Amino acid sequence: MSAEPIEPALVPPRRPLSLRLRIALSVAVAIVLTLAVTTLAIDSLVDTEVAQRADANLLERAQALSDMVRYQRDGNRTEFPPGSMPQFLADDGIVYFSINCAGHPVAASHDAEHLAWPSVDPKQPVYADLSDPRGTELRAIVMPFTAQPGLSWGAELGARQTAMLAAGLSPPACRLGLAVDHSEVANFQHTMDAIFVGSILLAIAVVVVLVPVLVARGLRPLARLAEEMRGIGPATPERRLAATGAYELRPLTERFNEVLARMQDGLQRERQFASGVAHELRTPLAELRTLVEVELRYPGGREPRALLADIGAIGAEMERLVGALLLLTRIEAGIEPAQRQSVDLTRLTRKLLERSAADAAARQLVLEAPTGDTVIWTADPALIEVLLGNLLGNAIAYAPTGSRIVLQCSGSDWSIRNEAPRLVPADLALMQRRFWRQGEDAGVHTGLGLALATAAAEAQGLRLALSLHDGWLLACVSHGGTAGDSAN
């Protein structure tokens, strides 16, 4: 018993993220990150500035206290009772101070000896964060200073100072420690932190609400453009996108209009081709059908070979028509781009004359070929052959029987003249249109010769001019002196 193969489960395609949501998320994230980084940087700067100002204020107070000790002498100093506070520090809240000279305490506030004062640096003040036995956060400074002569805080210190001065030694080094309540500074910093955090949260809320609205409003021209594109289709190929007023959408609108123009041109050529084929194939198809039906209903005893020859001639006419239309459409659409190279125009003209000799002989036409120097042009070999071949074929098809056709070739012009007694100047404006034929004696001529020649000339940058002089039609191809050369 064979197990049936298990088909893999089809995974539904993921829905693409909308452009509006992508832009909104990108803008919101960018704004929030910018605000957060900026706010954190400002908060850090504010905290640093506040801490520095607090330390500077603490340093000034410590220097004031050290100056009181430094410059007071025996005769004018005011004794600090044990545990008393200097008057200028009495109203500053929780304050601790400690003065020590030469290792001996000079003065101190209550509980100052219980604080973990940092070690003194003989060169600069030292700051530290402390806490008292009650848990109060303190900011402390310890700074060195030198006692002045006459300082006698205590008998032992005074005797030592007198002995040091008598021996010529420096006054004893003193240390001052000052610690103040740091809660106000900390509270101010916490308040600023709360303000900044609240500002960030408020900005995030505003960004979340406003960014989608602003993005939707900014993309409104794109939405209108999409709605306008929805109304453009094969039934309205002539419609174009109107300018939106948005600078960024201008290249998109211009490129899309260019695409629409190319599509309209291609659609027009397709319709023209289909219309031309449908119009021109009706006659040979009707002839073919009539020929077959007549032969089936009223057999005339014709040889099958002759009947097939007539059918083949009709088929060849239809093939020439379709081939000419296809080539004309490809040239006009630019599908047959010009590949320029040196072309021997004299040799090409003789080749075309040899190819058309039988048709010319059937109509008893006299072809006068160019003689003289070899002419070299820079052109596309295939397109120049289509151009000159169709001009020659058109002349052979429409020239009166037994008349002359004169071809001339030079370094700047190639021309062909044939008699055209039935043409009038008004016909010259119609001759280069598709399917234009004068009269019914053109044989299998499709009426596309001059239209093909004109398209092939334009594709190579050549100029085809038609003129009528004394009953003679002149078709002249020129390049304006830039497309070819003459060689001996």
Q: How many CB atoms lie within 10 A of CB 227?
A: 9
- Answer yes or no: is pLDDT of 439 > 60: no
Per-domain boundaries in the chain:
44-188, 339-486
Question: Which of 28-42, 169-183, 389-403 has the lowest average pLDDT?
Answer: 169-183
The predicted structure's pLDDT at residue 16: 64
The predicted structure's pLDDT at residue 196: 85
143 strand-pairing partners: 176
When comparing pLDDT for 200 and 147, which is higher? 200
pLDDT in tens, 292-324: 887 787 776 677 788 788 788 778 767 766 766
The predicted structure's pLDDT at residue 188: 86
Best CATH choice for the domain 339-486 from the list 3.10.50.30, 3.40.50.1100, 3.30.565.10, 3.40.190.170: 3.30.565.10
Question: Which of 18-22, 207-211, 233-237, 408-412 has the lowest average pLDDT?
Answer: 233-237
Percentage of the chain surpassing pLDDT 70?
71
**Average pLDDT along the chain:** 76
When comparing pLDDT for 379 and 325, which is higher? 379
The predicted structure's pLDDT at residue 278: 65
Cα–Cα distances in angstroms (integers) from residue 131 to residues 107, 117, 335, in the given order: 20, 10, 91
The predicted model gives 134-143 an average pLDDT of 88
